[in-house]
Amino acid sequence: MFKKAPYIFCVLLIISGFVLAQIPKWAQSNSHKKYPNSDYLLGVGIAEDKTKAVELARADVAKQIQVKIESELETMEQEIGSGDRSTIHSEVTSKTKSIVSETVAGIEIVESENIKGKHYVLAVLNKQNYLAGLQQEMDKIIAESNQYLQSARDLVQKGNLFNALDNYISAQKIVPDFYIKRGLYTALTGTVYGDQNTASVASILSEIRTILAAIDVKIISGNNQTSSLGVPLKEPVVARVFYKDSFGNDIGLKWYPVIVKYANGETINKLGSSDKGTLSVNIIATPTGGATGSGAVNFTLGLSNLPDIFRNDLSKIQATVNYSIVTADLSFSIEIKDINDNTNKNMGALVGGWVNNNGYRNDPTSNLKIQGTAILKSERIIDSPAGRQYFIELELPLSLNDTNANTQLASVVAKGNGMALGSRENAVQKACENISVTKSKFAAFLQTAIQP
């Protein structure tokens, strides 16, 4: 019984050899005399459906292109800062897919055989033709990127930063395409295309950051003034946003957004610089810290127009204006009522705190009286998964009166919102606790007491 085994083994060898003999040699060896590997990339597809076999053959060539590109991407991404890789990676991935797709369009089907219900297909890509196309595409990218970069540098020298950044970013987006194609060219030929001066993603990002590092904002005039509380400083504060070039020249940046805030965080204005990089702001003398006799205003650069990856580069740049405040020895009496027309001591204490923060005293016998009655501006009931929520919006119109002269000197409106679960009363109480008014407005409100 066991003597038949060698015979069966031989038969199987003969059958398998016969089957292999029927399979095209190029499908077995992935080579073809007419299409030598030195001149062509070859791909083989095998399937019962011919269309599927053609797709597999094309995909086999495309996969070889993909592998060669991916090895170049690893090298290129190592040149890019770790903080920028995630942003650049999506662009590179997209371009890689595009190049592979373009490659498939140049692949030819040169052999097709049907053996025992299976289709064998040979696809080839002519390296010489493909390389010629790569060269043209790379030359075009180099020319376009150089044009974008030169335009960007010219715009920076003219103070037009945002248009310059648009050009830098346009160059940055097309340069990965060059390096992917160059990596493929190198893999196919063994030589590197282009020269060392060709811009890279890393070099463009470095150039942008060098420019951003040379941007600053400074106070031109209006610093260290003295003014009465609640009164605008005698002179407007003038600031300038500028770029210091490699020769040490200050180039004003035009139309740059600047945020002007008191040191306590209260916004004064948001405005753009002139075509010379300057901006002018009127500031009301308002205490901004623990001391009531001084204040400060910060000028910071707006970041909303910058691409996300560059915002940290400018986030800490600011210039500060300081001023001194002259306050009179004044006191105020306070009478505040709630929405039910009842005297509210808590709201009275809140307004009293505003008075103290401006350097004045609270005195119930003073003829300078601050009065106000809270008004229910709006209320809403909001059904939520947690239950019924009450939302209250209050206004507190304040008037400053001279009771001796029986005259009103000034008025200002404070506002507050409150929300509470299941209780309208609690929502009203929270709205009262949240009543507020900008410090500059309240300082100007109090200042009318000492105006002639």
- When the pLDDT of each residue in the chain is averaged and rounded to a whole number, the result is 87
Contacts of residue 136, defined as CB under 8 A and 6 or more positions apart, other chains included, come to none
Task: List the chain residues with pLDDT less than 70.
Answer: 1-21, 71-105, 196, 291, 451-452
pLDDT for residue 339: 94
Q: Could you tell me if 364 and 396 are in contact, meaning their C-beta atoms sit under 8 angstroms apart?
A: no
pLDDT for residue 78: 57
Phi and psi torsions of 198, nearest 5°: -65, 130
Residue 295: count other Cβ atoms within 10 Å of its Cβ: 27
Residue 253: count other Cβ atoms within 10 Å of its Cβ: 28
pLDDT for residue 19: 46
pLDDT for residue 11: 45
Q: Could you tell me if 46 and 122 are in contact, meaning their C-beta atoms sit under 8 angstroms apart?
A: no
List beta partners, residue 336: 372
pLDDT for residue 451: 64
293: three-class secondary structure by DSSP = coil
Q: Which residues of 147-174 are buried (b: 16+ CB within 10 A; e: fewer)?
A: ebbebbeebbeebbbebbbbbbbbbbbb
Q: What is the rounded distance in angstroms from the CA atom of residue 450 to the CA atom of residue 60?
A: 88
Nearest Cα residue to 103 out of 192, 180, 186, 189: 180
- Reading the block at residue 322, the tokens are 């300081």
Identity of the residue numbered 13:
L
Q: What is the rounded distance in angstroms from the CA atom of residue 73 to the CA atom of residue 80?
A: 11
Q: Could you tell me if 164 and 155 are in contact, meaning their C-beta atoms sit under 8 angstroms apart?
A: yes
pLDDT for residue 7: 53
Q: What is the pLDDT of residues 155-210, one digit of tens each?
A: 999 999 999 999 999 998 888 888 778 877 877 787 888 776 788 888 898 899 99
pLDDT for residue 89: 58
Identity of the residue numbered 112:
S
- Domain architecture of the chain: domains with CATH: 29-211 (3.10.28.20), 214-326 (2.60.40.10), 331-447 (3.30.160)
pLDDT for residue 133: 86
Q: What is the pLDDT of residues 39-67, one digit of tens each?
A: 898 999 999 999 999 999 988 988 887 77
Nearest Cα residue to 430 out of 418, 412, 448: 418
Q: What is the pLDDT of residues 290-330, one digit of tens each?
A: 767 899 999 999 998 888 888 888 888 999 999 999 888 89
Q: Could you tell me if 410 and 448 are in contact, meaning their C-beta atoms sit under 8 angstroms apart?
A: yes
Q: Could you tell me if 198 and 183 are in contact, meaning their C-beta atoms sit under 8 angstroms apart?
A: no
pLDDT for residue 305: 84
pLDDT for residue 363: 95
pLDDT for residue 66: 77
Query: What's the predicted TM-score (pTM) here?
Result: 0.70
